[in-house]
Structure 1
């Protein structure tokens, strides 16, 4: 259970960093479209 939880936490951090990076570089609309496709 612990390794899985750690992996999930790392993935969450990666996604947050990726989101921050994407928004900073003004590709928010592109990122939003990507999120819509994932849902």
Structure 2
């Protein structure tokens, strides 16, 4: 059971960090586009 739990935790952390990176890059591109428009 412990091994399965550790795998699930590491998978969820990896998934969460991937989402965070995606959101951050999306916000960054939006900011860059706004700066370039001005």
Structure 2 length-normalised TM: 0.67
After superposition, the CA RMSD in angstroms is 1.3
* Pairs aligned (count): 27
Structure 1, unmatched stretches of 5+, are 28-39
Based on CA coordinates, which of the two structures has the bigger radius of gyration? 2
Structure 2, unmatched stretches of 5+, are 29-38
Query: Which has the higher relative contact order, 1 or 2, with Cα contacts under 8 A spaced 6 or more apart?
Result: 1
Shift of 1:26: 0.2
**Which aligned runs of 4 or more in structure 1 are off by greater than 6 angstroms?**
none
Question: Residues of 2 paired with 1:16 and 1:7: CA distance?
Answer: 14
